[in-house]
Amino acid sequence: MQYMGELGLNFEVYRNDELTIEEVKRMKPRGILISPGPGEPQDSGISLQTVLELGPTIPIFGVCMGLQCIGEAFGGKIIRVPSGVMHGKSSPVYYDEVLGKSIFEGLSNPFTAARYHSLVIEEETFPHDELEVTAWTEDGLVMAARHKKYTHIQGVQFHPESIITPEGKKIILNFARYVEEFEKQTSEGK
């Protein structure tokens, strides 16, 4: 949230168990960021429901558990990281320069990212019919994905807000720009 404030973005913060999906709809958000949190996606309040019900019409950006919520919402299984807990560790992250263009625009490839997670979307059950992998680690773990049809539903497993992700602020700014572009295209009827 600090990066969003530094970038001059207007935002409101709510706990995922503080609101109903109907209350979120009435707020008419321009974009939704599903932030990291403890636990597993099924313990994340309205996060899964938000992805499924609001995702088709509102840009959603999931961070860490937010990406796991996107994966689980579309049929993926969330498992423990095979190599063990990744708390405060950096990894090179590679991205598809075509598929990852919107949120990774202007980043090095690979770039260094902070990982603070013990769970990940399982590769064997990754819902390839609904989602596409846009970034990964050297050992093939999913680090970012987006929806194939609703490309404005996207997320990252790592933490762009961490000092260990030197180019992370660009990712947040790119999502904000994506929200503006999505809004413009929607209002023009494209």
Active site residues: 64, 159, 161
CB of 71 closer than 8 Å to CB of 42: no
- For residues 95, 158, 162 and 172, what is the CA-based torsion angle, rounded to 10 degrees? 60
Q: What is d(CA 111, CA 97) in angstroms, rounded to the nearest whole number?
A: 12
CB of 40 closer than 8 Å to CB of 68: yes
CB of 136 closer than 8 Å to CB of 126: no
Pairing, β 119-121 against β 111-117: unpaired
